[in-house]
Amino acid sequence: MATLPGGIRVLTISRPDRMNALDPAASAALRQTLADAMEDRALRALVLHGAGPHFCTGFDLKHQRVPGEEGVLAILQDCFVLLQEGPLPSVAAIEGNAFGAGLSLALACDRWSPPTMPDCARLSPASACCPMSGWC
């Protein structure tokens, strides 16, 4: 996480060894960081990007849900809501792959950079909802 001049907060999904796939710990950290950023009155915008050559390849399938533990999907749904309904505009800085929940995170942002989505994520405006969130 870094704050650039002008009140722009850069949030990095930093699991490059797993193509930035989200496990429970990374998902919970992202949710908390987003929640904190949305409450920071000094910020004017958020940029979400992935460390290394990929944006985010979704859930890390090596992690099984432990009974009683909050699931990654529930955590990420909170992230989608924060990005869509929070007071700060958000930009998904997409480089490389954006699949599954990673694509959903990108779609929950207000803008994408580069301004065209990668080939794996081309959608018509009618279907441009958050596929993993269950709501549009």
d(CA 75, CA 60): 14
Q: 2-50 pLDDT, tens per residue?
A: 888 899 999 999 999 999 999 989 999 999 999 999 999 999 999 999 9
Grouping H, G, I as helix, E, B as strand and the rest as coil, residue 70 is coil
d(CA 20, CA 116): 21
Look at residue 3 in the predicted model and tell me its pLDDT. Answer: 85
Look at residue 115 in the predicted model and tell me its pLDDT. Answer: 53
The CA angle 44-49-51, to the nearest 5 degrees, is: 135
Handedness of CA 81, 27, 6, 40 (dihedral sign): positive
With a pLDDT cut of 90, the percent of the chain lying above it is 58
Look at residue 114 in the predicted model and tell me its pLDDT. Answer: 74
C-alpha separations of 111 from 8, 71, 84, 88 in Å: 14, 27, 11, 12
- Tokens standing for 129? 């909802």
- Examine the pLDDT at 126 and tell me if it is beyond 90: no
Q: 59-104 pLDDT, tens per residue?
A: 888 877 776 667 778 898 999 999 999 999 999 999 888 989 999 9
Please answer whether residues 111 and 65 qualify as being in contact, where contact means their C-beta atoms are separated by less than 8 angstroms: no
Q: 105-123 pLDDT, tens per residue?
A: 999 999 988 755 444 444 4
Q: Where are the beta strands (DSSP E) in 5-134?
A: 8-13, 45-50, 90-93, 111-113
Look at residue 55 in the predicted model and tell me its pLDDT. Answer: 94
The CATH class for the domain spanning 2-127 reads alpha beta
Domain ranges of the chain: 2-127
